[in-house]
């Protein structure tokens, strides 16, 4: 007989999206759609062909009008997407997502002339706008947008690219999400969602973890033809787009939007892959702590204490608020808004998308946090992570829609820093060495996943993009082969990867949602480790500077913003400094483990 799963208290934690719209049928949705179309027509009529005669005041007026249009467009798109991710099985919600995608494409086609005319200006003419004090609030947007000049096409070509994306890449990504959202995995006479079966890999019961791994694999194998086709189609679509635009390689467009050079990314990847030995050393420690003959893929996230406590939603909320308020009162006050005003959706339910995210929505509203809370310590860390994003997005709204968001390279800063605050707060509260070690191991598990595993996934992503371009359509077996090659390079002989593990590439959404994303997690984690060390060494004034960093959003280049915190992210030593902090945590875990073993022998 199946045991009743304990309640977490998050079963009724649903967000209230009424600050965006009251419902998909809200009359305000149609009114705003009509307004967007009307404003776009007026914008095109007023500003097309006028750039050559613009003065700074004219451009400021045009940018303000441009922001109004995109604010409304993003508001509708945010509402549609947020609503749909809570129930991807509802055709009406999927329909609204598709309609907003089509609307976005329609508006993009009307307004693309504005970007192209701006990029067509000679550099010396563009410089007067960069230098104008009147445009200082838009300066970084104007400067960074010029970097796309070599990769833009003609207006008719750009319009075709936008139109086809709706029935191309966007449609396939939605199909992937709906396929995984509708999937059910059979485990112990239960039919579980993807998120529910993945959560079993964190259970103390090893036999249950193994059954969960097999259940996940069996479900993925049933969908393998569909998932393989989706991956192939999106890889080919990106290859076509990159070729038409003239990007050097598959990740160049992502690096450009992340405001980081191809060389810097290569330096990050090389620094991490060169220290795979550190990850392998850690997994050998974990094997010893678990007392198993070999550490298998389904053991990687196992807790080292059999009776890992379940943490209620209320406890998780209080834990995060305490850590955030302790760091800076304003940070705590902003975080509290998410709980008090129902800006979080945490309940696990059928049809809900897996994973977690924080959606910035639009500056005139506020962010929303999405997650699947299951009552584990890792879920508390996920809550802290997403609320870190939420605080960042809330504070950066003052930069306006064109400069509020940061590149992915620095977008993870606030989220990972928030996790670190909660982790250290929890660790400081513990006196029992065994509990301390268990918490530390959980944190290192997450760090391994964030730094080393994400870079190993980047290596897989690199391999499949290159293989798709050089070999043509890839078979399921070829995907499996490339996945296992890159994963075995990472784990070495420290983890035994079972045959079932070869299929696990196929459920990871980042490869499709945002190609090239995953290395940003490693970037963010290593950056935060360096930041946290700075905080510990010189806490005076750090919190104020940190909040100013978040408030700045994307108003300057990442190296300039982070440089104000005393860190040079362009330095070749930067990555190794962060990896050194990871090694310190492993040393700490090894010392705690040795101390516990010695105490056991003397008892």
The confidence score (pLDDT) of residue 599 equals 77
Cα distance between residue 279 and residue 377, in whole Å = 22
The confidence score (pLDDT) of residue 602 equals 66
Q: Domain of 32? A: 17-167
pTM to 2 decimal places: 0.85
Cβ of 344: how many Cβ atoms within 10 Å?
25
The confidence score (pLDDT) of residue 308 equals 62
Within 8 A by CB and 6+ apart from 227, the residues are 176, 179, 220, 506, 507
Task: Say yes or no to pLDDT of 18 above 90.
Answer: yes
Q: pLDDT (tens digit, 9 = 90+) per residue, 233-249?
A: 999 999 999 999 999 99
Burial 439-469, CB ≥16 within 10 A → b, else e: bbbbbbbbbbbbbbbbbbbbbbbbbbbebbb
Q: Predicted confidence band at 491 (pLDDT cuts at 50, 70, 90)?
A: very high
Task: Say yes or no to pLDDT of 195 above 90.
Answer: no
Q: pLDDT (tens digit, 9 = 90+) per residue, 289-321?
A: 999 999 999 999 999 886 567 889 999 999 999
Within 8 A by CB and 6+ apart from 347, the residues are 10, 11, 12, 13, 14, 372, 373
Cα distance between residue 265 and residue 514, in whole Å = 16
Task: Say yes or no to pLDDT of 594 above 80.
Answer: yes
Q: Is residue 409 part of a domain?
A: no
Segment 386-394 mean pLDDT = 97
Q: Which residue has the higher pLDDT, 513 or 568?
A: 513
Cα distance between residue 488 and residue 485, in whole Å = 5
Q: Is residue 127 part of a domain?
A: yes
Q: pLDDT (tens digit, 9 = 90+) per residue, 117-128?
A: 999 999 999 999
The confidence score (pLDDT) of residue 2 equals 46
Cα distance between residue 127 and residue 130, in whole Å = 5
Total domains in the chain come to 1
The confidence score (pLDDT) of residue 42 equals 97
- DSSP H or E run through 191: strand 190-192
* Exposure of 295 in the CB half-sphere (CA atoms within 13 A): 23
Name the β-bridge partners of 369.
344, 358
Q: Predicted confidence band at 432 (pLDDT cuts at 50, 70, 90)?
A: confident
Segment 466-481 mean pLDDT = 98
Task: State percent of the chain over pLDDT 90.
Answer: 79
Q: Is residue 27 part of a domain?
A: yes
Average of per-residue pLDDT values in the chain: 93
The confidence score (pLDDT) of residue 1 equals 36
Cα distance between residue 390 and residue 415, in whole Å = 8
The confidence score (pLDDT) of residue 12 equals 94
Contact 461, 520 (CB under 8 A): no
Task: Say yes or no to pLDDT of 433 above 90.
Answer: no
Angle at 412 between CA 385 and CA 94, to 5 degrees: 75
In the DSSP assignment, the letter for residue 581 is H
C-alpha to C-alpha distances, 57 to 39, 65, 102, 136, 508, nearest whole angstrom: 20, 13, 33, 12, 47
DSSP for 24-37 reads TT-HHHHHHHHHHH
Segment 354-377 mean pLDDT = 94
Q: Is residue 33 part of a domain?
A: yes
Within 8 A by CB and 6+ apart from 328, the residues are 543, 544, 546, 547
Q: Predicted confidence band at 5 (pLDDT cuts at 50, 70, 90)?
A: low
Task: Say yes or no to pLDDT of 3 above 60.
Answer: no
Q: Is residue 525 part of a domain?
A: no
Backbone phi and psi for residue 10, each to the nearest 5 degrees, phi listed first: -100, 5
Q: Is residue 74 part of a domain?
A: yes
Q: Which two tokens stand for residue 58?
A: 């004219």
What CATH number is associated with residue 59? 1.20.140.70
Nearest Cα neighbor of 21 from 69, 80, 73, 71 is 80
Nearest Cα neighbor of 109 from 172, 160, 73, 49 is 160
Q: Is residue 598 part of a domain?
A: no
Cα distance between residue 377 and residue 370, in whole Å = 17
Q: Is residue 148 part of a domain?
A: yes
């Amino acid at each position: 007989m199946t045991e009743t799963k304990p309640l977490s208290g998050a079963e009724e934690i649903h967000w209230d999206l009424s600050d965006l719209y009251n419902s998909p049928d809200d009359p305000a949705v149609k009114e705003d759609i009509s307004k967007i179309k009307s404003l776009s027509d007026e914008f095109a009529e007023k500003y097309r062909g006028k750039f050559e005669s613009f003065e700074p005041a004219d451009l400021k007026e045009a940018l303000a009008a441009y922001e109004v249009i995109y604010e409304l467009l993003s508001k509708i798109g945010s509402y549609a997407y947020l609503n749909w991710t809570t129930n991807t099985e509802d055709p009406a919600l999927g329909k609204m997502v598709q309609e907003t995608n089509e609307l976005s494409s329609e508006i993009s086609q009307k307004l693309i002339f504005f970007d192209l005319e701006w990029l067509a200006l000679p550099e010396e003419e563009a410089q007067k706008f960069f230098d104008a004090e009147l445009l200082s609030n838009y300066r970084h947007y104007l400067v960074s947008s010029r970097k796309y000049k070599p990769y833009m096409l003609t207006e008719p070509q750009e319009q075709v690219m936008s139109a086809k994306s709706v029935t191309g890449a966007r449609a396939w990504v939605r199909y992937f999400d709906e396929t995984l959202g509708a999937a059910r995995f059979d485990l112990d006479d239960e039919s579980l969602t993807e998120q529910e079966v993945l959560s079993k890999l964190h259970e103390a019961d090893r036999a249950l973890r193994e059954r969960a791994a097999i259940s996940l694999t069996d479900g993925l194998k049933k969908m393998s033809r569909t998932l393989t086709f989706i991956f192939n189609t999106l890889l080919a679509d990106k290859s076509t787009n990159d070729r038409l635009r003239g990007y050097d390689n598959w990740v160049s467009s992502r690096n450009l939007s992340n405001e980081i050079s191809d060389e810097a990314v290569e330096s990050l990847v090389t620094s991490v892959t060169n220290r795979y030995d550190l990850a392998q050393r850690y997994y050998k420690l974990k094997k010893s702590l678990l007392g198993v003959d070999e550490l298998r893929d389904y053991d990687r996230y196992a807790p080292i204490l059999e009776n890992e406590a379940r943490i209620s939603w209320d406890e998780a909320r209080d834990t995060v608020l305490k850590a955030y308020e302790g760091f800076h009162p304003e940070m705590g006050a902003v975080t509290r808004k998410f709980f008090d005003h129902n800006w979080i959706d945490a309940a696990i339910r059928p049809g809900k998308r897996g994973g977690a995210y924080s959606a910035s929505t639009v500056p005139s509203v506020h962010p929303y946090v999405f997650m699947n809370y299951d009552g584990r310590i890792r879920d508390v860390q996920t809550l802290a992570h997403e609320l870190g994003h939420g605080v960042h997005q809330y504070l950066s709204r003052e930069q306006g829609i064109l400069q509020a968001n940061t590149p992915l390279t620095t977008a993870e800063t606030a989220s990972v820093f928030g996790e670190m605050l909660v982790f250290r707060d929890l660790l400081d509260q513990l006196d029992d060495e065994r509990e301390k070690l268990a918490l530390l191991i959980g944190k290192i598990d997450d760090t391994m996943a964030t730094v080393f595993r994400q870079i190993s996934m980047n290596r897989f992503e690199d391999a499949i993009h290159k293989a798709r371009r050089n070999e043509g359509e890839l078979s399921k077996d070829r995907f499996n082969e490339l996945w296992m090659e890159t994963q075995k390079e990472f784990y070495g002989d420290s983890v035994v990867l079972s045959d079932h593990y070869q299929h696990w590439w196929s459920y990871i959404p980042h490869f499709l949602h945002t190609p090239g994303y995953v290395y940003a997690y490693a970037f963010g984690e290593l950056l935060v480790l360096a930041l946290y060390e700075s905080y510990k060494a010189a806490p005076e004034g750090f919190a104020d500077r940190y909040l100013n960093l978040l408030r700045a959003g994307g108003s300057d280049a990442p190296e300039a913003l982070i440089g104000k915190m005393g860190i040079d992210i362009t330095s070749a030593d930067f990555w190794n400094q962060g990896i050194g902090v990871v090694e310190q945590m492993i040393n700490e875990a090894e010392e705690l483990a040795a101390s516990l073993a010695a105490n056991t022998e003397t008892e």
